[in-house]
């Protein structure tokens, strides 16, 4: 862990500071949590720059908001987000695997409604903690195979496959027949809707999971982009208009 002694000092502060101090912070995460994450993730100088910048924003001149530590996203995530931004219909989106909540938060910036699912309670808890100033997201602690039971019609659906970072890696999407869920969720797409599937094939069982998905959707209008690190693959399925 980067800057472990600084991080430990911040964690000790968080354990001892009264709750009312935390509640006074204008933004979420709180400034102390922001600093803890920054020093855990980046070198001392960049973490100090980010933390100072955040502290300067913790005053009445700045509107309260969800203000996370910047994350350096991989190329596959950047490409998926470009599709999210560029898609013309932005009424309702489904995040079928909310994980740590990053895709859910991003979707909430562009879509009027976001419905976010995950089978793990930890994922729901982590995502919920990021929704302090966001009110167009609804969370469901449920299997993605059950998404059709909620009678939703979506303009965009995203699946992020693999395991939840920072959790038990034995819980993997491949164990819950994602290929079947993807096929069922395809029927929830509106005309001209898009489904994005981020497949991480380097982890144990990832390539088998990918192959099952391709076999399941072989009759649909899909493309696969594969020139990413660690054998990652971006699958995009488009539902054509019937007009």
DSSP assignment of 26-39 equals SSBS-HHHHHHHHH
**The total number of structural domains that make up the chain:** 2
- H helical segments located in the chain: 4-16, 19-24, 31-41, 44-57, 75-86, 102-108, 121-128, 178-186, 206-216
Does 131 reside within a domain?
yes
Supply the DSSP symbol for 83. Answer: H
Residue 232: pLDDT above 90? yes
One domain for residues 47 and 115: no
Does 69 reside within a domain?
no
One domain for residues 126 and 227: yes
One domain for residues 30 and 81: no
One domain for residues 138 and 234: yes
Percent over 70 (pLDDT), the chain: 91
| Residue 126 pLDDT | 85
Predicted confidence (pLDDT) per residue in 80-136, tens digit: 999 999 999 999 999 999 988 999 999 999 999 999 999 989 889 989 988 888 999
Does 170 reside within a domain?
yes
One domain for residues 98 and 158: yes
Whole-number Cα distances in Å, 32 to 52, 170, 208: 11, 32, 42
Does 10 reside within a domain?
yes
Q: What's the mean pLDDT in 60-68?
A: 88
Instruction: Find tokens 């803890």 and name the residue.
Output: 36
Predicted confidence (pLDDT) per residue in 138-157, tens digit: 999 999 999 999 999 999 99
Q: How would you list the strands of the sheet with 232-238, edge to edge?
A: 137-141, 113-118, 92-95, 154-160, 189-200, 232-238, 222-225
| Residue 239 pLDDT | 95
Does 106 reside within a domain?
yes
| Residue 55 pLDDT | 93
Confidence of residue 175 (pLDDT cuts 50, 70, 90): low
Whole-number Cα distances in Å, 148 to 34, 112, 194, 238: 37, 20, 16, 18
Residue 28: pLDDT above 90? no
Please say whether the beta carbons of 147 and 96 come within 8 A.
Answer: yes
One domain for residues 39 and 84: no
Domain range for residue 158?
Answer: 75-238
Does 67 reside within a domain?
no
| Residue 92 pLDDT | 98
Alpha carbon 48 to chain centroid distance? 26
Residue 56 CB coordination number (10 Å): 10
One domain for residues 51 and 155: no
Q: What is the pTM of this model?
A: 0.84
Residue 170: pLDDT above 70? no
One domain for residues 29 and 98: no
One domain for residues 93 and 209: yes
| Residue 16 pLDDT | 84
Residue 208: pLDDT above 90? yes
In degrees to the nearest 10, what's the CA dihedral of 37, 42, 45, 49? -50
Does 222 reside within a domain?
yes
Which CATH number covers residue 230?
3.40.50.150
Q: What's the mean pLDDT in 61-77?
A: 90
One domain for residues 197 and 97: yes
Tell me the Cα Rg of the chain. Answer: 19
Question: To the nearest whole number, what is the mean pLDDT of the chain?
Answer: 90
One domain for residues 174 and 133: yes
One domain for residues 168 and 112: yes
């Amino acid at each position: 862990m980067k800057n472990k002694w600084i991080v430990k000092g911040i964690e000790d502060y968080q354990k001892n500071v009264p709750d009312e101090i935390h509640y006074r912070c204008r933004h979420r995460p709180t400034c102390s949590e922001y600093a803890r994450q920054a020093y855990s993730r980046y070198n001392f100088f960049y973490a100090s720059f980010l933390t100072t910048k955040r502290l300067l924003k913790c005053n009445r001149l700045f509107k309260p908001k969800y203000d996370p530590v910047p994350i350096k996203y991989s190329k596959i995530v950047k490409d998926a987000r470009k599709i999210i931004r560029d898609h013309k219909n932005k009424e309702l989106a489904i995040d079928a695997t909310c994980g740590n909540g990053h895709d859910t938060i991003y979707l909430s910036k562009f879509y009027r409604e976001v419905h976010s699912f995950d089978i793990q309670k930890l994922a729901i808890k982590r995502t919920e903690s990021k929704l302090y100033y966001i009110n167009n997201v609804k969370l469901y602690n449920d299997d993605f195979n059950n998404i059709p039971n909620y009678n939703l019609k979506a303009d965009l659906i995203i699946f992020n496959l693999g395991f939840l970072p920072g959790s038990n890696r034995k819980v993997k999407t491949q164990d819950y027949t994602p290929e079947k869920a993807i096929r069922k969720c395809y029927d929830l797409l509106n005309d001209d809707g898009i489904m994005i599937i981020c497949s991480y094939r380097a982890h144990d069982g990832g390539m088998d999971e990918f192959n099952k998905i391709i076999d399941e959707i072989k009759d649909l209008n899909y493309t696969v982009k594969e020139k990413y690190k660690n054998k990652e693959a971006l699958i995009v399925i488009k539902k054509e208009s019937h007009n």
